[in-house]
Chain A
């Protein structure tokens, strides 16, 4: 993406909260979100996402063994898949954020634009937030559809917003930071996909199989584990959101760490 603006030296970049900087952040966020949502490529991705959620829903309808599960279990599974898809979206977009600009040769004009490095990063994050918001909204009909009994449906939506959003952003920020450091979309995306595959393993490996010492350690440090465990507690066990403060604290800690990493790597970008 190229921001057409007056070229200034980086040292002349306006302060983060200045009106000009905020306008530029909004411009970057709008362009980023537009590329993800409005462009043909973006719509293709949205189509693939709703296709995946539809496929999962139809599999649930066709399953004859499903009746052993509670309805809440199905809602929990759907919420977990939405977070995984959101994290996938964030890491793909994040991998392209700086590494893609570098490969397309548009990074230098972007860095010369009258906006601070943090402003550029904030704009990119804003684009991701909008994309996640659209994805979140699209997932609501699916949660409603599979949550036929209404058991903890509101809890699942609240949990998805509260725990899914920071997890998705964390993956996006790490991808942005890594992309800024490596300057290569393919390497960044491959690395982040492997990380996501590992982090999202609690969706495939149930809690009983993660009771080993290693499994407990993994759950303790993995933000994805904290998110699905919080969803499990809220949706299946009907526990309140206040009881999930430890999970939220761990996820927010990862978000802050990812933000610091992305800021650091963005500041180290050279034109």
Chain B
């Protein structure tokens, strides 16, 4: 297993634990709130190769500045039997943001674009931590489904790919037999 895959799994596992064990609005999450919504340009039923984007608004809900804020995107596949964290290497080049300081009431609006690589059911979540904070703040989940996109139709390819060699091969064998009979 590659190093970044291990890191990705560890991150996603931690993320899921954090997301399921602590309600987003709880006090433990610290004075950060994260709202997430799909971009208006997203396709209603996206398929492989399409691009999606999610908009987030990270707000400092406390009365003190938050220093050293880092937010990042995580993606997990939730298909039964295929549950796994997704390595975002191919999906997105925009994986994290950072801010030196976020004043009380101040917000950061970010768009997280991604390209859909594989078909399946997915859950995207944005997480944030700060230098002084004691826990991770997750956004609500944003789920989406990616349809597979058949670029090559097997119903067209298979007859040709299997039929032509068979046809030439049979003519080859027939020619040899005829040659043997007449010779």
Which residues of A approach B to under 8 Å, CB–CB?
40, 43-44, 46-47, 50-51, 53-55, 57-58, 60-61, 64-71, 74, 138, 141-142, 144-146, 148
Contacts and interface: CB of A to CB of B under 8 A. Distances in A.
Contacts of A53: 161, 164
B151 A50 contact: no
B161 A57 contact: yes
Quick one: which of B119, B150, B168, B172 has the most chain A CB within 10 A? B168
B49 interface: yes
A contact face: mostly helix, strand, loop, or mixed: helix
A142 B152 contact: no
Among A61, A66, A69, A74, chain B packs the most CB atoms within 10 A around the CB of A61
Contacts of B64: none
Nearest to A140: B160
Contacts of A71: 151-152
Contacts of A60: 151-152, 157
A71 B152 CA distance: 7
Interface residues of B, number: 30
B164 A61 contact: no
Contacts, number: 85
A146 B119 CA distance: 21
Interface in B144-181: 148-154, 156-162, 164-165, 168-169, 171-172, 175-176, 179
Interface of B is mostly: helix
Contact of B158 (A61, A70, A74, A138): A61
Contacts of B161: 53-55, 57-58, 61, 142, 145
Nearest to A72: B151
Interface of B: 47-49, 115, 117-119, 148-154, 156-162, 164-165, 168-169, 171-172, 175-176, 179
B152 A141 contact: no
Interface centre among B47, B115, B153, B164, by most chain A C-beta atoms within 10 angstroms, is B164
Given A40-B176, A60-B152, A68 B117 contact: yes
A68 B152 contact: no
Contacts of A148: 150-153, 156
A199 B161 CA distance: 27
Given A47-B169, A144-B156, A145-B157, A68 B164 contact: no
A135 to B, nearest CB: 12
B136 to A, nearest CB: 32
A146 B155 CA distance: 10
Contacts of A65: 117
A251 to B, nearest CB: 28
